[in-house]
Amino acid sequence: MRTEIAGPGHSSRAQRTFTLTGRLLDALHIDGPLLLSVLAVCVVGLIVLYSAAGEDVRIFLGQAARVGLGLGVLTIVAQIPPRVMRIGAPFLYGLGLLLLIAVAVAGDVAMGAQRWLDLGFIRFQPSEIMKIAVPLCCAWYLHERPLPPDFTTLVIVALIVLVPTLLIAEQPDLGTALLVTAGGGLVILLAGLQLRYILGLGAVIAAAIPVVWKFLLHDYQRQRVLTFLNPQNDPLGAGYHTIQSQIAIGSGGIFGKGFMNGSQAQLEFLPERSTDFIFAVIGEEWGLVGCIVLMALYLLVIGRGLYIATQAQDTFTRLTAGSLTLLFSVYAFVNSGMVAGLLPVVGVPLPLVSYGGTSLVTLMAGFGILMAVHSRRKLVST
């Protein structure tokens, strides 16, 4: 009896809190479900990172601060009306292109690749901007045109994608180039690229592979592909990452070795365990169950993103939201596929989990765009 009396009291208070939070989120143009699922991935990431970084509190706090910074960026981006984004898209793209050229001319060389631009007070990678600017610009260009796109449109969009891609690939940064291409390509696919173009493109790519292999790829990139095909060829060199990450994942089993108990990670057998190969730490310490949980959380983010895209009310927002969401899934799949030995090793971090700020902030900005799209859909429709 008492519970019945207490029940409504509680629920009403809870409901009030819920409504209040809802209103606050609405006012901030934040989408609750998307925010929650993104935060869930971030929390998982921080937990895994704590173990992967060898209980280094400094690294853990640094990454937590970056998550906070990312959330700030997300909130700010969410305030921008999609219309402004659309108008700004070509300018952002132009700025990104200029910066890429600047990097090519005067960038910092770090770890053998010219990716960084030092502005005196901050060093950043202009290629990160392109991960968002390219989809935005493609969506902007396709916005006014009838869909599915005709050939001329396709050529122009292809140029919008390929110019920065080549600049980035020259740095060389294969992973980012791949993601930028994917971002633009996804826009085109979502815009309704006809099946015959898809098949034709497939044929062209197949034909281009030998050319790319021979003339465009750097030695180390070729090595990565070869190693992917047979890691045992070079177990202590190029194949070391793949072999060790598979040992880590495989030895984790169904339930894993337990938090901070992965010998591969803790005893430093696993290289780049807090950055690109952090997925192997999850596999080792949390097992198949942990991997499934992470994949489920990713699916929640992707599902919500796609839902937002389908609810979007004009071509620009639809294409933007859809491509950014799918880009996120490419991110996740490429990284986990590479760590699990399904794909060659490319420098793509595990989204929202890998240690490092740049990709996190870019992803958060992307989610901010999604939220901006979602919270203003009614305004657009009227």
Partner 1 sequence: MTRNSRLKDHHAEQRLFGRRVVAATLVIMVLLGALFARLFYLQVVRHDYFSELSQGNRIRIEPIPPPRGLLLDREGEPLALNRPAYQLELTREQTPDVEDTLARLVALGLLPADDVARTRRAIMARRAFDAVPVRLQLSEEELARFAVHRPDFPGVEIRPRLTRLYPHGGVGVHALGYVAAISEQDQERIDVSKYAGTTLIGKLGIERNYEELLHGETGYQQLLVNAQGRRVDRVGVTAPDLQRKEPIAGNDLYLTIDHRLQQVAETALGTQRAAVVAIDPRNGDVLAFVSTPTFDPNGFARGLTVPEYRALADNIDKPLIDRALRGVYPPGSTIKPFVALAALQYGVMAAEDTRYCRGVWQFPNSSRRFRDWKKQGHGTVDMHKAIAQSCDTYFYGVSDQIGIDRLHDFLVQFGLNEKTGIDILGERTGLVPSQAWKKKAFKKKELQVWFPGETVIAGIGQGYMLTTPLQLAHSTATLAMHGKRFQPRLVRAVRDSRTGAVASLPPRPLPDVKVDDPGYWDTIIGGMIGVVSPGGTAVRVQAGAPYKVAGKTGTAQVFSIGQNEKYNESQVSERLRDHALFIAFAPVDDPKIAIAVVVENGRHGGSTAGPIARAVFDAYLLPREAAPAAPPATPPAAPPAGGMDE
Q: Compute how many other C-beta atoms are within 10 angstroms of the C-beta atom of residue 75.
A: 16
Q: Considering the rule CB under 8 A, would residue 269 count as an interface residue with partner 1?
A: yes
Scan residues 288-317 and list those touching partner 1 (CB under 8 A). 288, 291-292, 295, 299, 302, 306, 309-310, 315
The minimum distance between CB 246 and partner 1, in angstroms, equals 6
Instruction: Out of 75, 79, 114, 263, name the contact with partner 1 by CB under 8 A.
Output: 263
Residue 118 gets which letter from DSSP?
A: E
Give 89 or 319: the residue with its C-beta nearer to partner 1: 319
352: alpha, beta or left, given left = phi > 0 and alpha = psi -120 to 50? left
Site string for partner 1, 167-186 (x = CB under 8 A): -------------------x
Q: Say whether the peptide bond before residue 351 is cis (omega within 30 degrees of 0).
A: no
CA distance 272 to 285: 16
* Part in contact with partner 1 (CB under 8 A); list of ranges 8-16, 118-126, 282-290, 369-377: 282-290
CA distance 310 to 78: 18
Q: Considering the rule CB under 8 A, would residue 251 count as an interface residue with partner 1?
A: yes
Give 126 or 149: the residue with its C-beta nearer to partner 1: 149
DSSP string, 154-196: HHHHHHHHHHHHHHHHTTT-HHHHHHHHHHHHHHHHHTT--HH
Q: Say whether the peptide bond before residue 149 is cis (omega within 30 degrees of 0).
A: no
Separation in Å, CA 303 to CA 37, 209, 334, 364, 365: 10, 33, 18, 16, 18
111: alpha, beta or left, given left = phi > 0 and alpha = psi -120 to 50? left
Q: Compute how many other C-beta atoms are within 10 angstroms of the C-beta atom of residue 105.
A: 8
The minimum distance between CB 115 and partner 1, in angstroms, equals 28
Scan residues 107-166 and list those touching partner 1 (CB under 8 A). 144-148
Give 42 or 186: the residue with its C-beta nearer to partner 1: 186
DSSP helix/strand/coil, 330: helix
The minimum distance between CB 226 and partner 1, in angstroms, equals 20
Q: Considering the rule CB under 8 A, would residue 342 count as an interface residue with partner 1?
A: yes
* Part in contact with partner 1 (CB under 8 A); list of ranges 72-80, 115-123, 215-223, 336-344: 336-344
Distance of CA 161 to the CA centre of its chain: 17
* Part in contact with partner 1 (CB under 8 A); list of ranges 114-122, 170-178, 201-209, 245-253: 245-253
Scan residues 32-91 and list those touching partner 1 (CB under 8 A). 55
Give 105 or 254: the residue with its C-beta nearer to partner 1: 254
- What residues make contact with partner 1 under the rule CB under 8 A? 55, 144-148, 186, 189-192, 246-254, 258, 260-264, 266-269, 283, 287-288, 291-292, 295, 299, 302, 306, 309-310, 315, 318-319, 322, 326, 329, 333, 336-337, 340-342
